[in-house]
Chains A and B, each alone.
Chain A
Amino acid sequence: MFSKKTIVIAGAMILITLNIIVFSFNLILKSSLGDSATWATFFLISPVQGVIHLSLNFTDELWKHYFNLISVSKENHELRKKLSILIQYNNACKEIEASNERLREYVELKKQTPNRLTAAEVISKDPSPWYQTLIINKGKSSGVVKDCPVIISEGIVGYVVASSPEYAKVLLIIDRNSSIDAVIQRTRGRGIVEGMNNNQCKLNYVLRQLDVEIGDTIVSSGFDGIYPKGIPIGRVSKIIHKNSGLFKEIEMEPFVDFSKLEEVMVILNPMNQEFSFGSCDS
């Protein structure tokens, strides 16, 4: 009835018309249809996409971290190295600061006294806990000879009992064999300071009638021929009152912390001159 050509043209016309109709409807009902389609599309595809994306991300992250770990590990190693160097540097700075502080005190001490002083480092201590000596790195070549008093800014450390050209042995005041002629700074009462070997000393031969109080400062009297007058030794820590006897029993705590001795000053010309320690009452 219709030719083939007519059917094709009619079909095309119908399709174009239908298309125009659908487009027209789509424009009219855009919101509801579009939203539904979008929702449906997302509902079906997005979860899968999400999973794939996550997987990819996971793989990507894993991949990146795996390779990064190697570089991070290297970087970590380098940073640790740098950190340890900085810690060492920091410790060295602290040591220098502490040493500087001590040396400044010694310079002050040197200014205060008319005696000739030389600084020395403590290099070793007595191998036996029964005796209290130490070895310093200055000897006869620096003028450090037997009987030279050894002090620090806090007070008396001891005196030299033996010396070689480069080293000297110092008997500490806390050794049992050490004795110092001393006076109580406040009352001027005399006594003999002897070591007790337990980082403490005792003040012997102090007359009973003398006024002594806990906290009194003990200084050298200068009569023993070794220590110049007026160097602080320690502080009275305990007084044992006895009912009989001529003398008081007094224990005292030295000003010097012997466990932390690192540098000391040796008095090279121990004249019987008075020392003027500014902080001996503190």
Chain B
Amino acid sequence: MRFITCLTIVIFWISVQTALIIEFSLLSASFDFLISFIVFLILFRSWQETWLVIILGGIAVNIISGAPMGVYMITYILLFIFFKNVKAYFHTPDSSLFIILVIIGVMVEQFIFGAFIFIQKSSVLLSMRTLRICFSQIFMAGVLSPLMLMLFNKIFYVSDRLISDDRRTYHGPIWKHGKKIS
């Protein structure tokens, strides 16, 4: 159920970003929404869910995008490595930490994309348009990430409740250490 929830969000998020958000000229340079989801998973959920989203989400976005294969997954893996222990070091409220990490994540992704394009085309990308895209993405990340945090919290709250209800209504045998208890 938890994994299904994660996959549903990944599919929904990618679809919203590529088919809906991109149509609005104001949000055309919007940041990668999956970053917010991955940061949420890193901070508040299990590593299994996080890795599932990193691998499947990374592949899915890469297939849709024109970016070189693996760039997105590399970005997400790096974010996982950078952020996995961050909660132990920074004692800030969860929401503030989430927003900051999403913004950092967006910046990391921009840097990785820039590096890849530089490797491919051997040209520096520092133009007004590049800077505008970067700032616009960081701004959008700052504005939208609190809303996304609320949304994820709500979705997982409902999903976890459904799981616990499922467990409560389980009528089959209960096993412990390979032995049937009842």
Contact = CB atoms under 8 A, between A and B. Distances in A.
B133 A129 contact: yes
A129 B28 CA distance: 8
A208 interface: no
A253 interface: no
Interface string A143-178: 000000000000000000110000001010001110
B80 to A, nearest CB: 19
A124 B19 contact: yes
Interface in A106-161: 123-133, 135, 161
Interface residues of B, number: 26
A128 B137 CA distance: 10
Nearest to B137: A129
B117 interface: yes
B25 interface: yes
Contacts of B114: 130
A176 B112 CA distance: 16
A26 interface: no
B-side binding surface: helix, strand, loop or mixed? Answer: helix
Interface stretch (B62-70, B88-96, B151-159): B62-70
A124 B64 CA distance: 9
A127 B64 contact: yes
A267 to B, nearest CB: 20
Contact of B66 (A123, A124, A161): A161
Interface string B75-114: 0000000000000000000000000000000000000011
A259 interface: yes
Given A124-B18, A161-B66, A177-B120, A129 B61 contact: no
A198 interface: yes
Contacts of A132: 66
Nearest to A125: B22
A131 B65 contact: yes
Contact of A125 (B18, B33, B61): B18
A147 to B, nearest CB: 15
B14 interface: yes
Contacts of B25: 259
Interface residues of A, number: 22
Nearest to A135: B64
B121 interface: yes
Contacts of B67: 126, 128, 130-131
A127 B17 contact: yes
B66 A135 contact: no
Interface in A82-126: 123-126
B121 A130 contact: no
B167 interface: no
Contacts of A128: 32, 65-67, 113
B113 A130 contact: yes
Nearest to B33: A127
A176 B117 contact: yes
Contacts of A131: 65-67
Interface of B: 14-15, 17-19, 22, 25, 28-29, 32-33, 61, 63-67, 113-114, 117, 120-121, 127, 129, 133, 137
24 contacts: A124-B18, A124-B19, A125-B19, A125-B22, A126-B18, A127-B22, A127-B65, A128-B32, A128-B65, A128-B66, A128-B113, A129-B137, A130-B117, A130-B133, A131-B67, A132-B66, A133-B65, A161-B66, A176-B117, A177-B66, A177-B120, A197-B129, A198-B129, A259-B25
